[in-house]
Copies of this chain bind each other. A is one copy, B any other.
Amino acid sequence: MNCWMNIAAESDFSIYNLPFGIFSYKGHDPRVGVAIGDSIIDLVLAHDAGVFHDIALPLEVLHTDTLNEFIRQGKSVTNAVRNRLQDGLTKENSKLHHIKDTFVKQAEATMHMPVEIGDYTDFYSSIEHATNVGKLFRDPENALLPNWKHLPVGYHGRASSIVLSGTPLHRPKGQMKPAEGNPVFGPCKLLDFELEMAFIVGKDTKLGHRVTTSEAKEYIFGMVLFNDWSARDIQKWEYVPLGPFLGKSFGSSISPWVVTMEALEYFKVAGPVQDPEVLEYLKYEGDYNYDVHLEVLIQPEGDEENTISKSNYKFMYWNQLQQLAHHTVNGCNLRIGDMMASGTISGKDEESYGSLLEITQAGKKTLQLKNGVERKFVQDQDTVIMKGYCEKDGRRIGFGEVRTKILPSID
């Protein structure tokens, strides 16, 4: 496909992508937009211009501050919108060309949270990460717990504190337990990121009903990058027996553009062989891993960006279909906008570890950055950036980035 717009070859937002987001600009209310190159198509203005005249798409689901009601129209509508835009970007004589002056430069827009998140679930689906953490937090000889290969372990996370890329977070305070003596209170000392991706639920389910792996695809709208910030010292003391709580709930960060599963379809690959064989309800057909190149960068205040990890979403042991089928197998209902994160995405090599906990072996090793700077964990005023893109046969689509600066604790 050739786009009549001038789009940089390395752009995340090629004509093959067309992700949805919520943006505002020049005093206009938030609304649904689609990213293309360095621009945004304002879908409210496109609707006004009749671009969607034969698609059953009420204007009010575009002129609003979350994607939830747009997603609720169903894939037949949201795919028709995306296909119409794709078509209109290849044909100079389409209605889309005629409204090109209404396109907004991304640099002039403000992005907003793309969805209202009902519930947020975090999985733990990278075998390398689960093994690494098990070695560090528990028993090096039995790093992987007995259930891990039988089900996609997950837990409920905090939805209220999920923030958009660009929103700074304060270093959390909390209770920590030194190796010797009583617990103490203060700012977390072992602040860490977790490189994750998250999918967004695209269809409600009914309480008591399950979604099978073969149906699951219809229930997933799209994906974002996800930084599951973690305070390792708070987490380590609090997490038994009911799981992570304040070590995570001070904030998680997401990228603003929701890349659809249809855009990602072209980049599917086979997942790892699952041995032992999984129970029937977790079996699936076809390839459902995705080849997404991921990168983590850290930028100390006033300094350069340093790439500190390169991983890939294709490493996941458990895929989305399995995560979703497992999540609903007990009858738990899903709502449009629910977010399900992957868990930290680590690869086999040290260069592909998705957290500082793993990269520095819980602080035993020092990470050497440019200009003589060193890190074991994240320091105040550091910015952590995550990026992700797919590339195959000259076709490239990307997620943009999730970028978060850490500010000192509030007194």
Q: Point out residues on A near B: beta carbons under 8 Å.
A: 118-119, 122, 124, 134, 137-138, 145-147, 150-151, 153-161, 163, 169-170, 172-175, 177, 182-185, 188, 207-210, 231, 234, 237-247, 249-251, 276, 279-281, 326-327, 329-335, 338, 407, 409-410
Q: In the complex, which residues of chain B have a beta carbon less than 8 angstroms from the beta carbon of A207? A: 160-161, 163, 169-170, 250-251
Q: In the complex, which residues of chain B have a beta carbon less than 8 angstroms from the beta carbon of A231? A: 330
30 A–B contacts from the bound complex (CB under 8 Å): A118-B160, A122-B242, A137-B241, A145-B240, A145-B241, A147-B237, A150-B182, A151-B237, A153-B238, A153-B241, A153-B245, A155-B245, A156-B245, A160-B332, A160-B335, A161-B332, A161-B333, A163-B207, A173-B329, A174-B330, A182-B276, A185-B280, A185-B329, A209-B410, A231-B330, A234-B330, A241-B243, A242-B243, A246-B330, A249-B327
Contact A244 B242 (CB under 8 A): yes
* Residues A238 and B118 in contact in the complex (CB < 8 Å), given A156-B249, A246-B330, A334-B160: no
The CA-CA distance from A238 to B330 in the complex, in Å, is 13
The CA-CA distance from A207 to B160 in the complex, in Å, is 9
Q: In the complex, which residues of chain B have a beta carbon less than 8 angstroms from the beta carbon of A251? A: 207, 331
The CA-CA distance from A237 to B245 in the complex, in Å, is 20
In the complex, what residue of chain B is closest to A338 when comparing beta carbons? Answer: B160
Contact B246 A175 (CB under 8 A): no
Q: In the complex, which residues of chain B have a beta carbon less than 8 angstroms from the beta carbon of A137? A: 241
The CA-CA distance from A145 to B244 in the complex, in Å, is 15
Copies of this chain assembled into the complex = 2
User: Shortest distance in angstroms between A274's beta carbon and chain B's nearest beta carbon?
Assistant: 14
The CA-CA distance from A243 to B246 in the complex, in Å, is 14
Contact A157 B156 (CB under 8 A): yes
Centre residue among A169, A182, A240 by max chain B CB count within 10 A: A240
The CA-CA distance from A359 to B157 in the complex, in Å, is 31
Contact A332 B241 (CB under 8 A): no
Contact B330 A159 (CB under 8 A): no
The CA-CA distance from A333 to B11 in the complex, in Å, is 35
* Residues A124 and B242 in contact in the complex (CB < 8 Å), given A150-B183, A156-B157, A209-B410: yes
Contact B244 A160 (CB under 8 A): no
In the complex, what residue of chain B is closest to A247 when comparing beta carbons? Answer: B330
- With beta carbons under 8 angstroms apart, the residue of B155, B184, B281, B331 that contacts A250 is B331
- With beta carbons under 8 angstroms apart, the residue of B118, B134, B157, B172 that contacts A331 is B172
The CA-CA distance from A251 to B169 in the complex, in Å, is 33
Contact B279 A185 (CB under 8 A): yes
User: Shortest distance in angstroms between A244's beta carbon and chain B's nearest beta carbon?
Assistant: 7
Contact B246 A244 (CB under 8 A): no
The CA-CA distance from A346 to B146 in the complex, in Å, is 31
Contact A208 B169 (CB under 8 A): yes
The CA-CA distance from A279 to B238 in the complex, in Å, is 14
The CA-CA distance from A243 to B123 in the complex, in Å, is 12
* Residues A250 and B161 in contact in the complex (CB < 8 Å), given A145-B240, A170-B208, A209-B410: no
Q: In the complex, which residues of chain B have a beta carbon less than 8 angstroms from the beta carbon of A151? A: 175, 183, 237-238
User: Shortest distance in angstroms between A231's beta carbon and chain B's nearest beta carbon?
Assistant: 7
Contact A156 B158 (CB under 8 A): yes
User: Shortest distance in angstroms between A152's beta carbon and chain B's nearest beta carbon?
Assistant: 10
* Residues A160 and B245 in contact in the complex (CB < 8 Å), given A145-B240, A172-B331: no
The CA-CA distance from A155 to B118 in the complex, in Å, is 17
In the complex, what residue of chain B is closest to A326 when comparing beta carbons? Answer: B246
Centre residue among A161, A245, A334, A409 by max chain B CB count within 10 A: A245
User: Shortest distance in angstroms between A335's beta carbon and chain B's nearest beta carbon?
Assistant: 5
The CA-CA distance from A77 to B36 in the complex, in Å, is 49
Contact B329 A154 (CB under 8 A): no
Contact B210 A173 (CB under 8 A): yes
The CA-CA distance from A332 to B281 in the complex, in Å, is 36
Contact B183 A279 (CB under 8 A): yes
User: Shortest distance in angstroms between A284's beta carbon and chain B's nearest beta carbon?
Assistant: 15
